[in-house]
Structure 1
Amino acid sequence: MEISGIISAVVIGIIIGVLGRLVVPGRQRIGILWTIVVGIVAALIGSAIAAGFGIGDTKGVDWGEWLIQIVLAALGVAGLDRIKGRR
């Protein structure tokens, strides 16, 4: 993976993490760094899932891929918030 691919993955991960956090209702007890990490992981896994379904590379905006990534980020943020809340 080239440096431009890594940088774009981080930027997309930040966007996905923030969008996923906005989808989850209420206040989350996780920091921005955890949000970014969750977003990056959700973006990578979501891209793989979208590619598996054949919707990963379409002409124009990949709305299906974005939706999968945001849902995964929301689940990740909510799950991490629950784990942090128990401590």
Structure 2
Amino acid sequence: MTWLWAIIVGLVLGLIAKAVIPGKQQIPLWLTIIFGMLGAAAGNWVASGIGVADTKGIDWIRHLLQLAGAVVIVAIGDRLWVAMRGRGKGTT
């Protein structure tokens, strides 16, 4: 069940990140989910590092850090995806 929640959170964060980033992202949905999951993990890591991982009530700061992580990872991942796909198309 933990993996199911990780996939759902990755999907939601990845899609929100794609909506926040200006322009059209060219990464496929499966990569959006993976990048969203990585962003959530990065946000949790930062939240633990600054001591806001577990608070009373809703962990708004942790959730914002997760979203920020997803935005950064989706933006970087999209640029890498475009660079790799563009290079592969030009060589054939």
**TM-score, length basis structure 2:** 0.81
The percentage of counterpart residues that share the same residue type is 35
Name stretches of at least 5 consecutive residues in structure 2 with no aligned partner.
Answer: 87-92
Which of 70, 73, 80 pairs up with 2:70?
A: 73
* RMSD after superposition: 1.3
Amino acid at match of 2:64: L
Matched, 1:21 2:18: yes
Residue 54 of structure 1 aligns with which residue? 51
SS of 2:22's partner is coil
User: Between Structure 1 and Structure 2, how many residues are aligned?
Assistant: 84
SS of 1:77's partner is helix
Cα distance between partner residues in 2 of 1:84 and 1:14: 18
SS of 2:16's partner is helix
CA contact (8 A) 1:50 1:65 kept: yes
**1:28 to partner: Cα distance:** 0.4
Amino acid at match of 2:81: K
* Shift >4 Å, 4+ stretches: none
